[in-house]
Structure 1
Amino acid sequence: MCGISGILNLTPNQQPPTPNQLTSMVSAIRHRGPDESGIYLDDRIGLGHARLSIIGLQGGGQPIGNEDGTLWIIYNGEVFNYIELKPDLLAKGHRFTTDTDTEVLLHLYEEYGPACLEKINGQFSLAIWDNRKKELFLARDRVGIRPFFYTQCNNQLLFASEIKALLTHPQVPRAIDPKALHQIFTFWTTLREGTLFENIHELPPGHYMTVKGGRIDCRAFWTIPYYAPDQRWQGTLPEAGEALRELLLDAVRLRLRADVPVGAYLSGGLDSSLITALISRNFNNQLKTFSIGFQEGDFDESSYQRQMIAHLGTDHQQTLATNQLIRENFPDVIYHCEKPILRTAPVPLYLLSRLVRDNNFKVVLTGEGADEVFGGYNIFKEAKIRSFWAKQPRSTQRPRLLQKLYPYIFKNASRGSAFLYAFYAVKPGDLEDPCFSHRIRWNNTGKNTGFFSNDLAAALSGYAPDEQALANLPPNFSTRDTLSRAQYLEMDIFLSNYLLSSQGDRPAMAHSLEIRLPFLDYRVIDFAARMPPHWKINGLNEKYILKKSFQGLIPDTVRTRPKQPYRAPIQEVFFNPGPSDYVDALLSEENLKKTNLFDPLKVTRLLHKYRNGGHGSEVQNMAVVGILSTQLAHHHFIANTPTPNTQHITPNKIIQKQP
């Protein structure tokens, strides 16, 4: 995995990009690729690359050109099926000088143009410059595993794997977008194409851009699949189980391709346990596994991890996420995430990736994506229960299913039937809402916009982020079943912009670690979309087909255990009690007035409650993390110029083409 960056002059007769500009951009993201770096320059474009060498260790430095030097590529990612794609290209006369998937991708584009993306099974963001046509091709993988950002400034297009590389350009303005902040405090993340920063955009997953003659054209090459009932799987459940076993095994096989050792995350949950077992039983019985333990028992899954270690005999290492370590590393995580977050959950993953890298591993397989694809989240079951309740709205028994779903919420004895009816009840017309499954979450989280300053609230007057989310929905969305709608919303909004970013790519690549996700193989996603809803959630048994298909592979105590949502402590981290450090400094009335993003009196009142031994609600906990992380983001990127954690690099490879 790597980091890419570039500057393209949108009109001729401009000063060409300079080596120093590209070197500064690459230096800012050196953590993504510490092994070597390179740049390409001509009279119109500059391309920069920081390499984490995983495939084709020798001779794979980028940028890489084709045979006659008319095409040049920089690329962050993996084409897992590059071995299968190469023979066809050889037969068509393409010549290769390396054993990398990068060169396969370059020739694939040379042969097929943008249609090459449909042939790729991988995770990537890329840029290919056609020096002859003066055309730039940019693309991002189907579900957004790898990031890609861009902005326009002074008739130039700047792009990079991370925003901090764009901000090295002195003329790129640095300002927080009020609408983005509203989105984060509603959906946990920004919506499609948006970032925390004004005029800085993210290329949506499954999209490509072509830039020629100053014109930018963005198009989708893949969308989240949906199949109407008459288009779904026509076979039996056992037949579907057999097909799923073969498909997931092949997805794992492809993602084990590397010229360096590959490890695996092992959380103790169903998803990572299945991936680990498939690797250990079929490919590598000396597998190295890694996990997180927590100081706080409510968050810890170590007992299940130990069961899987004993079952598979893996060589295992664990890191302990203490409250103090979460607190100490929180600022670094916000620097790498480049956006506010409402949970501390990314920090333990940051600690975990450090453990993996300290053990000299560059690649791990993980179980992320299974919940979105196979219906594993409580929010899906919540929507099912509420739909069931709506058929008999006076029932006193049906709403009690929610207590089974959220036992940690109902620990408070005062939260009885009155709370259930007030909070979860379905009102007339709710079931027709296309965002029915997520509306409660959004409304609940959105209460924290009440902490915004008067100036920020005024800037947001008339803006409704849910209307923007509705505008992004595909045609005939309201005709889909409840689970299909909920899965789409979760994948389109939450998966790429939060889970695969703040809890995926960013904490891993902060330590130069590549994560690979077999459950997000596009073939697995398409297969799951063809399954009927009751094979995903059977009653309230989530991921039913996944559990059924792999019965016997892992212990039943792990396979059938109740799902434990991945969370990390908040109140214990910041108020139990804590030292006088950045938390007090950034949340002081003085600093809150400086940033002018939050109301100092409201924030101080909330903090007073915690500091005097009070306990906050889930929503208030999110407010604390959201406000603190926003203050940190402002500190890192607005109040100060972001500086790379490494020295200004000297590229290993410089290619300068004369006009």
Structure 2
Amino acid sequence: MCGLAGILVGRADEPGARAGLLERMNAAQAHRGPDQSGAHHEARVSLGHQRLSIIDLAAGQQPLANEDGDVLTVYNGEIYNHEPLRRELQERGHRFRTRCDTEVIVHAWEEWGERCVERLRGMFSLAVWDRRRGRLFLARDRLGIKPLCYAELPDGRLLFASEIKALLACPELPRTLDPAAVEEYFAFGYVPEPRSLFAAVRKLPPGHTLTVTPGLPLGEPRQYWDVAFEADPAWGEEAAAEALLERLREAVRLRMAADVPLGAFLSGGVDSSAVTALMSELSDRPVDACSIGFGERRYDEAEHARAVAGHLGLRHHLDTVEPERFALIDELARLYDEPFADSSALPTYEVSRLTRCRVTVALSGDGGDELLAGYRRYRGYAREQRLRGRLPAPLRRAVFGPLGRCYPKADWAPRALRGKATFQALAADPVTGYLRSVALLDDASRRRLFSGRLRGELQGYHAGEVLRRHAAATHAPERDPVAFAQYLDLKTWLPGDILTKVDRASMAHALEVRVPLLDHQLVEWAATLPSSLKVRGGEGKYLLKRALEPRLPRGALYRRKQGFELPVAEWLRGPLRGRLRGAVLGERLADSGLFDPGCLRRLVDEHQAGRANHARALWSLLMFESFLRQRVEEVAV
């Protein structure tokens, strides 16, 4: 795993003028690759790289060139099919000097050009400079496991890097915030691709490439991959379970190749247990599995992880930490470069730190919920869609829309009396309905939170456009609400929250995390499964659990999903009480001009008095304030 950086100029200049900036960009990402630092400068381009050595430790330094030196690459990730690709390219006359996967990229570019990414199986973000064609090629893996961002400066220079902080090493980069990104952050809890919180910075979306010719206008990214949710009704349960296990076994096997110590994250849940179980079958020695426990039993999964480890005969490493690592709030703002409202980033950071003490590469179970419909919200959304389907949309909007607006909000009341949310759900279209199920703050809450100035700058823009854009391109039919929700999550929640969280938290400790459940061939195959094999009898991930019954204890398969939950509401009334008031009611948020001061005070007072639970809103504001404080000299609002 590594960090890449680069500068492309529109007009050839003296490379030495770029050397200082590239050095600062590299240094900003040194945590991603502490083993080696590399740089290359020529008339139109400068390429930088920070390497975490995983395969072919003695060779493979980057930037890496072909035999003639006219094609160079820097890349971050792992190409799991590099050996068969190498053999194919050698048969076509290409000569290799190393056995690392990086060298496959330059020869694949020579052979197949922009379509080379279609041949790569793995996780990657990469840049290829072709001097003969005068062309820069940027690409990101299909699911968005590895990050890539870029910015075009007013003087025509193009900067690109693994993390935004590397771009911020350039003082000429405009720091103005994007109002639409602020709206998206408070709707989703993160800023979805292609936006970043900085108006000048874009994230390359998953499954996209960007080809740049120096001196020409910057074009739009090109999509090279998508997944089609087209259920094959011929799948029977037994055959599908066997096929799922075989495909997952292959994905795990490919990700066990490494020249450094390798282990696994083990939470004790279904997905991480599945991965470690198959690793154990494929390994000739006990697997190193790392878990984290919390001092507070209500949030502790250590007992479940210990049971799985004992059942599989793992070499289990369990560390207990107190969840109240509040100093990490500011550290997370520095790591993520944007406000990031998922509080589970704290334990993810901790388990990455503890795992890196023992191994350099860890396999995780991330992606299982999106792949095989494990989230409870999928079942809820499907129920709502069935209700909506019984009445015509115009009638639903005419009857339930006004009721939803007029009926009082009553979160305190018994569920049967909470009519407002039900009426609003019935009036919604499929995309709006799904946004309601995933939103950090609903529309009305965001309107109250935002200042008049910010609402004016938004000019009517609504975060729901993110989902509508993907829904318009989806191959998941609305008549299958589970598949529809899965597709939207694969395009938004998965890369924007889950994979961003794991990448930044793990790379902060120079730990490479591999995700077998997000092998793109496995994802494509799983999309052919009928939703009835994913959700059955109120049980999510039904097929995976069914396939794993001979291998794992029932307690690991069928217990209630927990995840890295934290007592945020209690913290904000207790040990974080003073910090919350100082941050949310302090000068920094007030001076930003983005928020309504009266709303901020009401949120804090009501939550700390116990009259309401505003934990999600307040945590997101706490992270936003920390971001502004971390970037106080860089941000223009």
Match of 2:109 in 1: 109
For 2:604, which of 593, 602, 607 is the aligned residue? Answer: 607
* 1:515 counterpart letter in structure 2: V
Other-structure match for 1:546: 544
Q: 1:527 to 1:553 in 2, by over 3 A?
A: same
Q: Distance in 2 between matches of 1:492 and 1:438?
A: 13
What's the counterpart of residue 409 of structure 1? none
Q: How far is the alpha carbon of 1:284 from its aligned partner?
A: 4.7
SS in 2 for 1:324: coil
Query: In the aligned structure 2, how far is the partner of 1:59 from the partner of 1:341?
Result: 37
Name the residue aligned to 2:408.
Answer: none
- CA deviations 1:295-350 (Å, max 9, x no partner) are 3433221221121121122222233342421x121110121112222331101100
Query: 1:368 is matched by which residue type in structure 2?
Result: D
User: What is the match of residue 164 of structure 1?
Assistant: 165
Is the counterpart of residue 624 in structure 1 residue 621 in structure 2? no
Distance 1:296 1:457 in 2: 41
Q: 1:565 deviation in Å?
A: 4.3
Does the CA contact (< 8 Å) of 1:438 and 1:486 recur in 2?
Answer: no
1:363 & 1:443 partners in 2: Cα distance? 33
- For 2:331, the equivalent position in structure 1 comes to 332
Alpha carbons 2:628, 2:635 under 8 Å: kept: no
Q: CA deviation at 1:250?
A: 0.5
Say yes or no: does 1:224 pair with 2:218: no
Amino acid at match of 2:485: A
| 1:640–1:471 Cα change, 3 Å | closer
Counterpart of 1:309 in structure 2 is 309
Residue 566 of structure 1 deviates from its aligned partner by 3.7
Figure out how many residues of one structure are paired with residues of the other and give that number.
613
Q: Does the 8 Å contact 2:3/2:161 carry over to 1? A: yes
CA distance in structure 2 between the aligned counterparts of 1:534 and 1:505, rounded to whole angstroms: 32
Paired position in structure 1 for 2:567: 569
Is the partner of 2:38 in helix, strand or coil? strand
Q: Deviations over 1:473-527 (max 9, x none)?
A: 33476644111111111111111011100x2101111111111000000111011
Summarize the Cα distance change of 1:277–1:472 in structure 2 as closer, same or farther, 3 Å threshold.
closer
**Any gaps of 5 or more consecutive residues in structure 2?**
392-410
2:482 corresponds to: 483
Q: Give the whole-Å Cα distance in 2 for the aligned partners of 1:17 and 1:201.
A: 25
SS at match of 2:472: coil
1:241 corresponds in structure 2 to: 241
Identity of aligned residues (%): 35
Q: Report the equivalent of 2:399.
A: none
Contact in 2 for aligned 1:4/1:26 (Cα 8 Å): yes
* Distance change (3 Å), C-alpha of 1:179 and 1:381: same
What corresponds to 1:358 in structure 2?
A: 357
- Could you list the per-position Cα deviations for residues 401-436 of structure 1 after superposition, in whole angstroms to 9, with x for gaps in the alignment? xxxxxxxxxxx98323112x4323576554x53443
Q: Tell me the residue number matched to 2:180.
A: 179
Q: How far has the Cα of 1:391 moved from its partner?
A: 7.1
The Cα shift of 1:221 comes to: 0.9
The residue aligned with 2:400 is none
Distance in structure 2 (CA, Å) of the matches to 1:452 and 1:413:
25
Q: Structure 1 residues 602, 425: CA separation in 2 closer, same or farther (over 3 Å shift)?
A: closer
Matched to 1:494, the amino acid is W
1:440, distance to aligned residue in structure 2 (A): 4.0
SS in 2 for 1:559: helix
Separation in 1, partners of 2:277, 2:477: 39
Partner of 1:453: 451
Alignment partner, residue 396 of structure 2: none
Q: Could you tell me how far 1:389 is from its partner in structure 2?
A: 4.8
Alignment partner of 2:584 out of 576, 582, 587: 587
For the 8 Å contact 1:36–1:51, the answer to whether it is kept is yes
Question: SS of the counterpart of 1:539?
Answer: coil
Provide the aligned C-alpha RMSD in A. 2.4
Shift of 1:616: 4.0
- Determine the structure 1 residue equivalent to 2:535: 537
Q: What corresponds to 1:657 in structure 2? A: none
Distance 1:539 1:547 in 2: 13
**Quick check: 266-275 or 433-442, which moved more?**
433-442
Alignment partner, residue 465 of structure 2:
467
What's 2:495 paired with?
496
1:553 alignment partner, SS class: coil
Q: Distance in 2 between matches of 1:206 and 1:427?
A: 32
Shift of 1:541: 1.2
Measure, in 2, the Cα distance between the counterparts of 1:580 and 1:429. Answer: 41
- Aligned-partner Cα distance in 1 for 2:253–2:39: 33
Does 571-580 or 70-79 show the bigger shift? 571-580
Code of the residue aligned with 1:483 in structure 2: it is: V
Which moves more between the two structures, 132-141 or 283-292? 283-292
Please report how far the alpha carbon of residue 239 of structure 1 lies from its aligned counterpart in structure 2 after TM superposition: 1.3
Give the AA of the match of 2:619.
Answer: V
Alignment partner, residue 342 of structure 1: 341
Distance 1:544 1:586, change over 3 A: same
> What's the offset of the Cα at 1:593?
2.1
> Compared with structure 1, are the counterparts of its residues 490 and 276 closer, same or farther at alpha carbon in structure 2 (3 Å cutoff)?
same
Aligned mates of 1:562, 1:6 — CA distance in 2: 46
Deviation at 1:291, TM superposition (A): 1.6
* Cα distance in 1 between the residues matched to 2:284 and 2:455: 55
Decide which moves more: 543-552 or 120-129.
543-552
Cα deviation 1:81-119 (Å, max 9, x = unaligned): 111211111111211111110001221111111222111
On the 8 A contact 1:433/1:478 being kept in 2, the answer is no
Q: Quick check: 1:372–1:487 contact (8 Å CA) kept in 2?
A: yes
Does residue 27 in structure 1 map to residue 21 in structure 2? no
* Cα pair 1:6 1:46 within 8 Å, conserved: yes
Task: Give the CA deviation at 1:55.
Answer: 0.8
Show structure 1 runs of 4+ deviating over 6 A.
none
Aligned: 1:378 with 2:376: yes
Taking the aligned partners of 2:242 and 2:295, their CA distance within structure 1 comes to: 40
- Kindly indicate whether the alpha-carbon contact (under 8 Å) linking 2:235 and 2:529 is maintained by their aligned counterparts in 1: no
Write the letter of the residue equivalent to 2:592: T
Q: 1:5–1:161: 8 Å Cα contact kept in structure 2?
A: yes
Q: Provide, for residues 195-234 of structure 1, a one-character-per-residue CA deviation record: whole Å limited to 9, x for no partner.
A: 111120000100111111424342111013221x4xx252
Amino acid at match of 1:517: V
Residue of structure 2 equivalent to 1:414: 413
Post-superposition Cα deviations, 1:123-150, rounded to whole Å, max 9, x if no partner, equal: 0000010112211111000010000000
Contact map agreement 2:356 2:510 (CA 8 A) in 1? yes
Give yes or no for contact 1:7–1:17 (8 Å, CA) kept in 2: no
What is the Cα deviation at residue 266 of structure 1? 0.6
Alignment of 1:254-265 (within 5 A): 254-265=254-265
| 1:31-110 map, 5 Å | 31-110=31-110
**Alpha carbons 2:607, 2:615 under 8 Å: kept:** no
> Aligned residue for 1:206?
207
Deviations 1:30-70 (CA, angstroms, capped at 9, x unpaired): 00001110001001000000001111100221101100101
Conserved? CA contact 2:431–2:467, under 8 Å = no
The 1-side partners of 2:352 and 2:287 are apart by 17
Q: Name the amino acid aligned to 1:624.
A: L
Q: Which amino acid aligns with 2:461?
A: Y
2:484 is matched by which residue type in structure 1?
R
Q: Is the 8 A contact 1:149 1:163 kept in 2?
A: yes
What SS does the aligned partner of 1:371 have? helix
Give the letter for the 1:198 counterpart.
Answer: A
Which secondary structure state, in structure 2, belongs to the residue aligned with residue 18 of structure 1? helix
> 2:263 corresponds to which letter in structure 1?
G
Compared with structure 1, are the counterparts of its residues 216 and 284 closer, same or farther at alpha carbon in structure 2 (3 Å cutoff)? farther
**DSSP 3-state at the match of 2:21:** helix
* Cα distance change, pair 428–346 in 1 and its aligned pair in 2 (3 A): closer
The one-letter amino acid paired with 2:371 is V
TM-score, with normalisation over the residues of structure 2? 0.91
SS of 1:554's equivalent?
coil
Task: Tell me: CA distance 1:426–1:572, structure 2 relative to 1, closer, same or farther (3 Å).
Answer: closer
Match of 1:633 in 2: 627
CA distance in 1, matches of 2:284, 2:616: 41
Distance 1:241 1:578, change over 3 A: closer
C-alpha offsets along residues 509-552 of structure 1, whole Å, 9 cap, x if unaligned? 11111110000001110111000110110131111111112221
Q: Give the SS at the match of 1:46.
A: strand
